[in-house]
Amino acid sequence: MSFVERTQMKYVTVPAVKVPVIMEADVVVVGGGPAGVGAAVSAARSGANTVLIERHGCLGGMFTNGLMCVSVGELPKGAPTEILERLGKDGYVENPIKKYPGLSANPLFHYHGPNLAPGYRGPSKIATFDPYMAAHVMTEMMQEAGAAVKLRSLFVDAEIEESRIQAVITEDASGRRAIAGKVFLDATGRGDVVARSGGPYVSAGNELGFPIPPGLMWKLSNVDYERLFKYQEEDPLLEKAMARAGANNDLPRYRPKRTEDYGGGYAGHPRPEMCPMVYTGDMLLWAPAVYDWKLDCAERAEDLTRAEVEIRKEIVTELNFLTKYVPGFEHARLAAIGPFVGIREGRHPVGEHVMTYEDIRNERRFEDAALRLTTWDRMNMEGGNPFVTFDVPYRSFLSKGVDNLLLAGDNLSMTHEALLHIRGFGTALRTGEVAGTAAAQAVKQGVMPRKLEWNVPL
């Protein structure tokens, strides 16, 4: 047998089966992260019979279940403000810079120095929140709006007829089941619905030829911040601590991040990237994958497994280093590791308009503007005002080739460079609100989403 024959792909034949349709809705949202929640709540509040499908056990995606519980920058009106106001009433929101006034200059702080525009480091611009209570608030909002939720339900395929999705196929503890609808939304963050529906997309990749590496969030409890900050007066970058560990042959391999992609600075394992959390003594930490692995976790399951396994190993070695060699961490304990890797960049669906960095840098206005955003221009920080205000056209919410599919969150039609400016907790929620409102209006008017006229930015 030749090498080609021995390594040839094998297949199994799956018998044709009838998949029961368990539900019919006006609007079907796939993905329960911020974009999906914003979409489902808005669609339901607009009077549409709405269902949201989520693969995990709670709503909020990376910002709750994945522990990325930080809101940065001017909080957009609408759902982002509503969620944090609900959390704030019960004490579940904390501004870490107000609590620790010198934090923004601390090189261990994830949002320190060059990592963020100065206006976004102000004491009113960063909020940490309880991720589990945020998931609870999102669930409350869904129930109050009358939207149905299907948790632990994995989207696996779509039934297409004449360029329209008739139903999505899900798999859960009850087996394969279908949910039919009139308008569908892809809020998966990976472009899964677009890919399974035959819609066009561009595989994720930046100027280096591969996506932004995924990351895994983790949390410590019982950190003594005052002791840590005092120690940093003599060892701000923990270089002395690493030298002691190295002298004892006790230092895990130092792995720098590509600092040119993260604004320069100190970054790398085992030196932590941290942010104080809402409760005293709790610390949120970032653990990114290695750039040189060139992982594509949206389209290659093997890459996702490698990221999960290797990053968890690095978290343990970093924990051991901190507790043994860095004052302030002596009594710290591992409180949580996110249950899944955050995919920072997945497929880029192709819509009726593809948002580009030029649209953002030139603060472009569109006749069909659906959303107006203000953010810092992370690719042009030299001098002057680093902030830009730009429109996101309604056409960027429309999937090309699939008539009744809308896009939201990281699935908006945009390039890699545009994604760097159109992502995050507040923005994802707002794009979801646009898509959900548009879906409900299309159902109400009896037209496909692309026939809906939209010229009032939310």
If asked whether residues 152 and 49 sit together in one domain, one would say: yes
For residue 273, being part of any structural domain is answered with: yes
| Residue 108 within any structural domain of the chain | no
Q: Is the residue at 119 inside a domain?
A: no
Which two tokens mark 72?
Answer: 């940065």
Asked if residue 3 is part of any domain, the answer here is no
Q: Is there a domain that residue 323 lies in?
A: yes
Q: Percentage of the chain surpassing pLDDT 70?
A: 91
Domain termination residue (choose one: 337, 361, 391): 337
From 274, 305, 337, the end of a domain falls on 337
- Residue 155 shares a structural domain with residue 31: yes
Q: What is the mean pLDDT of residues 428-456?
A: 91
**Residue 87: pLDDT over 80:** yes
Average pLDDT, the chain: 90
Q: What is the mean pLDDT of residues 44-70?
A: 96
Above 80 in pLDDT, residue 114? no
Whether residues 419 and 276 fall in one domain: no
Q: Note whether 333 and 423 are same-domain residues.
A: no
Do 170 and 319 have their domain in common? no
Same-domain check for residues 170 and 231:
no
Q: What local confidence, expressed as pLDDT, does residue 1 receive?
A: 44
User: How many other C-beta atoms are found inside a 10 Å radius of the C-beta of residue 200?
Assistant: 16
Report the distance separating Cα 268 and Cα 318, nearest Å. Answer: 11
Cα distance between residue 403 and residue 65, in whole Å: 32
Task: Name the least confident of 260-264, 416-420, 452-456.
Answer: 260-264
> Of the residues 311, 337, 363, which one is the last residue of a structural domain?
337
* Average of per-residue pLDDT across 60-77: 88
Task: Count up the domains in the chain and report the number.
Answer: 2
Burial of 445 (0-12, 13-18, 19+ CB in 10 A): exposed
Closest by CA to 244, choosing from 273, 270, 267, 218, is 270
Query: In this predicted structure, what is the pLDDT of residue 10?
Result: 84
Comparing 436 with 250, the larger pLDDT belongs to: 436
pLDDT tens readout for residues 239-256: 999 999 999 988 877 777
**Residues of the chain above pLDDT 90, percent:** 73
SS3 444: helix
* Domain residue limits at 417: 21-92+130-203+347-451
Q: Which of 103-112, 202-211, 235-244, 395-404 has the lowest mean pLDDT?
A: 202-211
- Per DSSP, the three-state class of 364 is coil
The answer, as to whether pTM is greater than 0.85, is yes
CATH at residue 351: 3.50.50.60
Same domain for 265 and 316?
Answer: yes
**Inter-residue contact 67 to 413 (CB < 8 Å):** no
